[in-house]
Amino acid sequence: MSTIKLRAKESKGVVTVKAIIKHPMETGQRKNKKTGEKIPAHFIQQVVCKANNDEVITINWGPAVSKNPYLTFAYMGSKGDTIELTWEDNQGNKDSLQGEVK
């Protein structure tokens, strides 16, 4: 099951991409209430979006981004473009999803 929900819509030559990524985004600062030990940092470090295999945006995140982050951006494109959103976190986990611009 994908951790990404993706929607891309074109209007007047501009494609607006909206995505939600399901991820805990732990900062490494919180403590487990039962044990008192710090919860290890676990956050998305990089998100890359490509349109028709051309990179349109690269985002570098740190631990301050909230749980299940929402992302929106726009690029010059057209209906039918194939977009691919990929993320990688600080523990080496990755996910990717392809979609088509409506």
Beta bridge partners of 75: 15
Q: What is the pLDDT along the chain (102 residues), one digit of tens a residue?
A: 789 999 999 999 999 999 999 999 999 999 999 999 999 999 999 999 999 999 999 999 999 999 999 999 999 999 999 999 999 999 999 999 999 999
Q: Do residues 27 and 61 lie in contact, with contact meaning Cβ atoms separated by under 8 Å? A: no
Q: What is the DSSP letter of 26?
A: B
**The model's pTM:** 0.92
pLDDT in tens, 74-97: 999 999 999 999 999 999 999 999
Q: Do residues 14 and 43 lie in contact, with contact meaning Cβ atoms separated by under 8 Å? A: no
Separation of alpha carbons 43 and 78, rounded Å: 32
pLDDT for residue 90 = 97
Residue ranges of domains in the chain, CATH in brackets: 4-100 (2.60.40.10)
